Amino acid sequence: MKLPEVTGSLTDLPGIGQRRAEALTRLGITAIRDLLLHPPRRYEDRSRVVTLVEAARHGEGLVDAVVVQHDSFFRGRERVLKIVIRDGSSTAALVCFGRSFLARTFPVGAHLLVWGQFSFRHGEIQTATFEAERLPGTDRSGAAPGRAADDYHRTPAPPLPGFVPVYPLTEGITQPILRTAIAAALDRTLPELEDDLPKHLRRAENLPRIDEALQGLHRPTSLEEAERARRRLVYAELFHFQLDLARTALARRRARHRPRSEPTRSVVEPVRRALPFTPTGDQERVLKEILADCHAPWPMARLLQGDVGSGKTLVALLAACAAIERGEQAALMVPTELLARQHAHSASRFLAPGDVRIALVLGNLTTGQKHAAAEAIAAGDVDLVVGTHALFSEDLEYNNLGFVIIDEQHRFGVRQRELLLERGTVPDVLMMSATPIPRSLALTAFGDTEISTIRELPPGRRPIKTHLARIGNEERVYEFVRQRLAEGRQAYLVYPAIEDGGARDLRSVQKMADELQPRLAPYQVGVVHSRLPEEERATVMDRFASGELAALIATSVVEVGVDVPNATVIVIEHAELFGLAALHQLRGRVGRGEQQSFCILVYQEPLTDDARERLRVLYQSTDGFHIAEEDLRIRGPGDMPGMQETVRQSGFLDFRFADIRRDMPVMIAAREAVRRTLEGEAERAADESDEDRNRHRARSRSGNTQEETR
């Protein structure tokens, strides 16, 4: 019986009735298997006895003592029992809140082993958090004849508990209850348990068997044994998770055959020849990876990630051109209408030499515009469709959708992406993200997706200089902005709120627009935020992009897709309220030309530890991949922007043992083992197929021989 096959009712275990079984469900424990895989939070070293003084000095410890007195005190109207114990070094008080019954359990003279969190309080050593065990036959009151009353320390003590696990608990479940149930589950299960990892993997990684690992997890004789058990369980968890992902990806490929047509027109070469710049080495490499996928007999599923301004969109458009050459339609889906307009404009400029026909599909188009676009798309008179979620409107029919680009993919729900894919016949899918994903997240959340990464920035780009300023020093900041405007440059000023309100006295867009317009005069200032109608927002952004507006006062609505090379300074006020990824994306709005650009982070004290850490990381680095790793370290995967849905979908936050930040080396080792395992399965399948063919030929020859004989 392997571990996944272990079921059994919790109520079959000692001390677990129906009520406690229901309480255990709050810990995710519904069967005996879950109980075996309930990891301790830590271990208490009860392998040696210390004195009361030592335990108080170190904060915790196992002491060997005798009860010398019962006392009590009042807390409000409640009488609280206090049991005084003594060893050879001092006395201490066991404060028994709500446990007055311990007076009968531990009478005066009782000899105890006490594990507790001891401290010096109110002029004495105390503990209110303790576990005590009465040692039978060694009480002072029951000392053997001829032995002095205080001579109990000479009595042979029972074996010490060793390293005792401390588990996460819930109401109605105590440590002794859980330890007793787990011990019974181990005794019942381990003798019949088979391993779920192949022997060659265990040997290669120096991992214990599953029964040894569970024993070491719950009953370790040393912390080293507990760690070895944990690593084995982490490895198994990551191995099986990635094996499932890989098999799912293989099944998808085998089930969805993708027919490939020969090119019918020339698009890629005319577009490439007309480019006003030379693509970077990273862009060329990634384009080759994508085009190789587009020639495979199954649909592509690839994530293209790169830092702000790395040129992902150009790569995606060139890949779309290859699909258009084969007579297929391409679709580019983006999260906002503003970004859709900008992408349509850029695509028209870049792809004109290839005679690529482009349609823009937005939710706020007039009925006539929507109807005309839908007719052209259905008739095949459009090569590239650019738009928002309107691209999967029921009224929109594609002629031959074969290539789908999803920009800022994390901003779309899983169902939204599926609806667009259902519009085509197993189309190739290229997802893009300007929020770099840490490798550990990529290996986990996108384990069934190929990943391409652009790290190289186009030549001529200067690193953005980042500065920090406290609120109160903003006059110098605004003067710096005026100097840049006087040089003919442009600036963003970003605020966390649209209008005043809330518990904190935040600077808002509307308030600061009233303040800054006269300060920055005679330069023209625009305002943009999410409450403005889409058309008004687009108009303001167009005026800023054209240079008519010198400064833009905005919320984080400008975080994505705004490309104004002449903007060389961005001021982010209340920067302590923004996440690392958002700050990095906002900073990426400048530095898109050849001029030196600046990012000024204005913060309000006092700062939380996390806020101070975020500002430190952004101040010290402009590398989006390093920043993403730091964001993962600070916030964890579930709180990273855009990852919440992917986290829920992939399920890796349900890991019991693995921590993708800590266990990255194990993740890589398990992934490589999965690759070798699948290759071995493929080779065995091929060998079996050859054997079947040989047997079939042998039967055929035998049949022919018999026929000739007859």
Distance between CA atoms of 403 and 472, rounded to whole angstroms?
A: 52
Q: What percent of the chain has pLDDT over 70?
A: 85
Nearest to 73 by CA among 18, 128, 36, 29: 128
pLDDT band at 245 (very low <50, low <70, confident <90, very high): confident
Asked if residues 329 and 379 have their Cβ atoms less than 8 Å apart, the reply is no
Question: Token digits for 130?
Answer: 């303790």
pLDDT > 70? residue 87: yes
379/391 Cα distance (integer angstroms):
16
Which has the closest alpha carbon to 420: 411, 408, 429? 429
Q: In this structure, what is the dihedral angle of CA atoms 406, 242, 259, 388, given to the nearest 10 degrees?
A: -10
The answer, yes or no, to whether residue 347 has pLDDT greater than 50, is: yes
Is residue 410 scored above 60 in pLDDT?
no
Work out the pLDDT band at 140, boundaries 50, 70, 90. Answer: low
On the question of pLDDT at 303 being above 90, the answer is no
Q: Determine the average pLDDT of the residues in 518-539.
A: 90
Q: Give the whole-angstrom CA distance, residue 237 versus residue 239.
A: 6
Verdict on whether the full-model pTM lies above 0.95: no
Instruction: Give the confidence band of 697 by pLDDT, cuts at 50, 70, 90.
Output: low
Burial class (CB in 10 A: 0-12, 13-18, 19+), 492: buried
End-to-end CA distance of the chain: 54
**Confidence tier at 652 by pLDDT (50, 70, 90):** very low
Mind listing the pLDDT tens digit for each residue in 16-26? 999 999 999 99
Q: Phi and psi at residue 125, in whole multiples of 5°?
A: -85, 130
Of the listed ranges 18-27, 273-282, 424-433, 612-621, the least confidently predicted one is: 424-433
Instruction: Tell me how far apart the alpha carbons of residues 402 and 589 are, in angstroms, rounded to a whole number.
Output: 32
In 428-581, where do the E strands start and end?
A: 428-433, 450-454, 465-470, 490-494, 525-528, 551-554, 567-573
Q: What is the mean pLDDT of residues 427-433?
A: 87
Predicted local confidence at residue 462, as pLDDT = 85
Q: H-type helices in 326-438, by residue range? A: 337-351, 367-379, 414-421
- 155-209, pLDDT tens digit by residue? 455 567 789 999 999 988 989 899 999 999 999 999 999 998 989 999 999 999 9
Model confidence at 645, pLDDT cuts 50, 70, 90, reads: very low
Closest CA to 559 of 641, 677, 488: 641
The answer, yes or no, to whether residue 412 has pLDDT greater than 80, is: no
- Structure confidence by residue, pLDDT tens digits, 47-84: 889 999 999 999 999 999 999 999 988 888 889 999 99
Torsion, Cα 604 606 609 611, to 10 degrees, reads -10
Whether the link from the prior residue into 168 is cis, omega within 30° of 0, is: no
User: Higher-confidence residue: 468 or 668?
Assistant: 468
User: Distances from the Cα of 159 to the Cαs of 25, 66, 113, 131, 162, in angstroms?
Assistant: 34, 18, 11, 16, 8
**Angle of CA points 106, 110, 113, to nearest 5°:** 85
Q: Cβ-count burial of 42 within 10 angstroms (0-12 exposed, 13-18 middle, 19+ buried)?
A: exposed
What is the spatial distance between Cα 165 and Cα 35, in angstroms, rounded to a whole number? 13
The whole-number average pLDDT for the span 122-139 is: 87
Position 586 scores a pLDDT of 92
Hunting for tokens 């993997």 — which residue is that?
Answer: 201
pLDDT digits (tens, 9 = 90+) for 560-593: 767 789 999 999 999 999 988 889 989 989 988 8
Give percent of the chain with pLDDT exceeding 90: 49
- Count of positions (residues) in the chain: 710
Task: Indicate the pLDDT class of residue 350, thresholds 50, 70 and 90.
Answer: very high
Residue 290 buriedness (CB in 10 A; 0-12 / 13-18 / 19+): buried
Structural element, H or E, at residue 209: none
- The stretch 264-269 carries a mean pLDDT of 93
436: amino acid identity, one letter: P
Radius of gyration, CA atoms only, the chain: 34
- What the chain holds in terms of domains, given with CATH numbers, is 3-42+178-240 (no CATH), 48-160 (2.40.50.140), 271-454 (3.40.50.300), 465-621 (3.40.50.300)
- In this prediction, residue 260 carries a pLDDT of 83
pLDDT at 558: 86
Cβ atoms of 334 and 561 closer than 8 Å: yes
Q: What angle do CA 377, 378, 380 make, to 5 degrees?
A: 65
